[in-house]
C-alpha cells in the first residue's frame, strides 16, 4: 500500500461521480456555531490547522489513517458535505492530492480559500525530479503555518489574537525542529542513505546526507512499478558494500522489491528508519517530525 501522486490522481473520476450524487442530498447537519470550517487533504495538514485554530475551527482531514489506501479511497457523505461547506481548504498540491480540487469543483463551493503548500513553497512543480512531499520540508511548512494563521484571522477576526498567538507558538516549535535538524547535520553530513521512495528526501538533504540508491529505483517504487533487475541489484549493493549507513523507507509501501531491500539491510546490519506520509496515531505534526529526526540520529549512533 502506498500514497503516491499517481494513485491520488486516479481518484478523480470516482470522486466526481460520488460528489455529483451527493450534491443532490437534502439532509443537512448543523455546523458548530461560529467555527471556521476547514478541510485538509491529509491529517498532516489537518494537524497544523488544528494547532492554530484550536476550538475555534472544525477540521476534517480526508486521509487521516495510515490504513486508508488512496487506491481505494471513496468520497463519503461526511467528507463531501464538509468540503461543500469549507471556508478554508488545505492541500499539498504539486499533483499529490488533486482529488481535493476535483471534490471542491464538484461540490459547487466557489468561496473556499485554498492553501496550497507547493505553491507556497516556491519550488517549480514542473521541474524534472520535483519532490512533491513538501510536508518534510520545514521552511515550506512554516509558510503553510503563516498562511493558515492569516486565513483564520480573515475568516474569524474576533479571535485574531488567539490565531496569531497559536500560529506564533507553532512557528517557534517548528524553528526548534529546524535547529535540531541543523545540529544533527553536524554528524550526518556526507553519510550515505538508502531510500525506497523520495518521501523523506527534504529532511535527508537538510541533514547533508548522500542518497546512494539509484533514482530509478525510488521512482519506480513511487509509481507502483518494479525497477529493472539491474537497478534493484545496484540498490541492494549499496547496503552490502557499506555505501549506505542507514535505510530510510516508506512504511506505507510494501512489495517484493521493497521487501528485498529491507531484508538486505537487515542482513548487512544497516539500521532501517521507517517514515510515513500520514501521522502516527495520536501524534501532532511536530511530535511526528521530532520522532523522525530522533530515529535517524539513534540509528546512526548504533
What CATH number is associated with residue 203? 3.40.50.1980
**Residue 59 has which C-alpha cell?**
477540521
pLDDT for 302 equals 77
Pair (92, 222) in one structural domain = no
pLDDT for 255 equals 94
124 falls within a domain: yes
Contacts of 30 (CB under 8 A, 6+ apart): none
Q: Which domain holds residue 127?
A: 5-179
Pair (131, 201) in one structural domain = no
**What is the crossing angle of helices 160-188 and 43-53, to 10°?**
130
Q: Indicate the residue among 179, 197, 222 that finishes a domain.
A: 179
Mean pLDDT lowest for which of 94-98, 116-120, 147-151, 177-181? 94-98
In sequence order, what DSSP letters do the residues of 219-249 get, joined into one string?
A: HHHHTT-PPPHHHHHHHHHHHHSSS-SEEEE
In sequence order, what DSSP letters do the residues of 15-82 get, joined into one string?
A: HHHHHHHHHT-----PPPTTPEEEEEEEHHHHHHHHHHHGGGEEEEEEE--TT--TTT----HHHHHH
Q: Indicate the residue among 179, 209, 229 that finishes a domain.
A: 179
Q: How far are the Cα atoms of 22, 32, 62, 120, 239 from residue 26, in angstroms, in the given order? A: 9, 19, 22, 37, 58
The number of domains in the chain is: 2
pLDDT for 77 equals 84
Pair (39, 153) in one structural domain = yes
Q: What 3-state DSSP class applies to 114? A: strand
Pair (84, 175) in one structural domain = yes
Per-residue confidence at 184, pLDDT binned at 50, 70, 90?
Answer: very high
Pair (131, 218) in one structural domain = no
75 falls within a domain: yes
Q: HSE on the CB side for 146, CA within 13 Å? A: 9
Residue 27 has pLDDT above 70, yes or no: no
In the block, residue with C-alpha cell 501522486: 5
Of the candidates 247, 252, 249, 300, the one whose C-alpha atom is nearest the C-alpha of residue 280 is: 252
Pair (97, 26) in one structural domain = yes
Q: Indicate the residue among 159, 179, 199 that finishes a domain.
A: 179
Pair (155, 274) in one structural domain = no
Report the run of H or E that residue 269 belongs to, with start and end: none
283 falls within a domain: yes
Residue 249 has pLDDT above 80, yes or no: yes
pLDDT for 43 equals 95
Q: Is 134 exposed, middle or buried (0-12, 13-18, 19+ CB in 10 A)?
A: buried
**What is the percent of the chain with per-residue pLDDT over 90, rounded to a whole number?**
79
Q: Is 278 exposed, middle or buried (0-12, 13-18, 19+ CB in 10 A)?
A: buried
Write down the mean pLDDT value for the chain: 89
pLDDT tens digit string along 48-88? 999 999 999 999 999 987 766 554 556 778 888 999 999 99
Amino acid at each position: 500500500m502506498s500514497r503516491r501522486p499517481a494513485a491520488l490522481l486516479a481518484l478523480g473520476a470516482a470522486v466526481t461521480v460520488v460528489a455529483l450524487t451527493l450534491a443532490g442530498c437534502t439532509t443537512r447537519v448543523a455546523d458548530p456555531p461560529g467555527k471556521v470550517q476547514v478541510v485538509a487533504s491529509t491529517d498532516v495538514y489537518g494537524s497544523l490547522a488544528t494547532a492554530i485554530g484550536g476550538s475555534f475551527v472544525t477540521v476534517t482531514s480526508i486521509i487521516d489513517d495510515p490504513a486508508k489506501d488512496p487506491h481505494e479511497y471513496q468520497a463519503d457523505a461526511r467528507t463531501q458535505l464538509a468540503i461543500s461547506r469549507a471556508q478554508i481548504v488545505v492541500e499539498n498540491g504539486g499533483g499529490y492530492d488533486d482529488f481535493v480540487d476535483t471534490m471542491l469543483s464538484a461540490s459547487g463551493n466557489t468561496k473556499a480559500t485554498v492553501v496550497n503548500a507547493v505553491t507556497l513553497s516556491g519550488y517549480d512543480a514542473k521541474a524534472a525530479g520535483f519532490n512533491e512531499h513538501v510536508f518534510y520540508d520545514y521552511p515550506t511548512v512554516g509558510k503553510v503555518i503563516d498562511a493558515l494563521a492569516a486565513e483564520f484571522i480573515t475568516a474569524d477576526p474576533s479571535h485574531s489574537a488567539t490565531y496569531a498567538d497559536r500560529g506564533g507558538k507553532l512557528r517557534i516549535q517548528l524553528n526548534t525542529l529546524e535547529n535540531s535538524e541543523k545540529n544533527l547535520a553536524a554528524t550526518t553530513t556526507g553519510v550515505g542513505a538508502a531510500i525506497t521512495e523520495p518521501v523523506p528526501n527534504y529532511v535527508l538533504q537538510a541533514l547533508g546526507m548522500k542518497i546512494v540508491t539509484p533514482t530509478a529505483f525510488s521512482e519506480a517504487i513511487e509509481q507502483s512499478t518494479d525497477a529493472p533487475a539491474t537497478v534493484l541489484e545496484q540498490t541492494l549493493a549499496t547496503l552490502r558494500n557499506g555505501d549506505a549507513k542507514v535505510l530510510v523507507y516508506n512504511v506505507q509501501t510494501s512489495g517484493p522489491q521493497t521487501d528485498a531491500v529491507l531484508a538486505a539491510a537487515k542482513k548487512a546490519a544497516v539500521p532501517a528508519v521507517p517514515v510515513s506520509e500520514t501521522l502516527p496515531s495520536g501524534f501532532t505534526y511536530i511530535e511526528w517530525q521530532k520522532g523522525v529526526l530522533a530515529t535517524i540520529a539513534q540509528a546512526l549512533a548504533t
